[in-house]
């Protein structure tokens, strides 16, 4: 991608409303800066570069792109670890009348989600794709995966499998477990 440099922070011009730096700084360091916000279109040449920029910077764009690619390939979005059809599960959850029924279905289909009560509660209370699955970087963010710029750089994982993979890699305990969760 040929990202053009953002012309963001510039010294404040006279007569414009500046944004001062915090007070505890020494007097000589108290510069006033103004930030001009530019659209994504002004950051890249367009086309493929805009798509790459969005994938590198916008999680919602990543999820939409991963969803589109997986639905085109296999007809749905499946967790790449536990194999659950996540789109079908969302539809089933939305059709259930009560939070208790949704919680029971979640625990039956994603039993490992019980380890994270907050994630389970959010998915049972307001079932949506964003509450059930996340786009996981195939290459760890700490190893440069955070700059991924193509849909092939991500896998859909249910929130439970994604949390397990994250915990395994951040604790450093489980290169073996992290590999199994890929």
Residues across the chain: 182
pLDDT at 64: 87
pTM, entire model: 0.67
Q: Could you tell me which residue, 21 or 42, shows the higher pLDDT?
A: 42
**How do residues 46-55 score in pLDDT, each as one tens digit?**
667 767 766 6
Give one DSSP letter per residue of the chain, joined into a string. Answer: --PPPP--EEEPPTTS--EEPPTTS-GGG--EEEE----GGGTS-STHHHHHHHHHH-HHHHHHHHHHHHHHHHSS-B-TTT--BHHHHHHHHHH-SSHHHHHHHHHHH-GGGGG-HHHHHHHHHS--HHHHEEEEESS-GGGTGGG--SGGGEEEEEHHHHHHHHHHHHSSS-HHHHHHT-
* Cα 62 to Cα 69: distance, rounded to the nearest angstrom: 11
- Given a cut of 90, whether residue 102 has pLDDT beyond it is yes
In angstroms, the Cα distances linking 140 to 81, 136, 170 are 16, 9, 10
**How do residues 143-152 score in pLDDT, each as one tens digit?**
766 666 666 7
Angle at 97 between CA 92 and CA 103, to 5 degrees: 65
pLDDT at 2: 54
* Cα 114 to Cα 112: distance, rounded to the nearest angstrom: 5
Reference 160, options 123, 128, 105; nearest CA is 123
């Amino acid at each position: 991608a040929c990202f053009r440099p953002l012309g963001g922070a510039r010294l404040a011009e006279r007569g414009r409303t500046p944004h001062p730096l915090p007070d505890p700084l020494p007097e000589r360091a108290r510069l006033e800066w103004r930030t001009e916000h530019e659209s994504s279109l002004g950051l890249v040449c367009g086309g493929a570069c805009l798509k790459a920029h969005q994938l590198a910077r916008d999680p919602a764009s990543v999820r939409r792109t991963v969803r589109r690619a997986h639905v085109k390939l296999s007809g749905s979005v499946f967790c790449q670890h536990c194999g659950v059809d996540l789109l079908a599960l969302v539809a089933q959850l939305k059709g259930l009348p009560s939070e208790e029924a949704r919680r029971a279905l979640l625990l039956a289909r994603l039993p490992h989600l019980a380890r994270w009560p907050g994630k389970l509660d959010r998915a049972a209370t307001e079932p949506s794709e964003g509450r059930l699955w996340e786009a996981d970087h195939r290459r760890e963010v700490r190893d440069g995966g955070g700059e991924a710029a193509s849909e092939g750089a991500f896998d859909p994982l249910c929130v439970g499998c994604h949390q397990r993979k994250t915990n395994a890699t951040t604790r450093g305990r489980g290169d073996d477990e992290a590999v199994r969760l890929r």
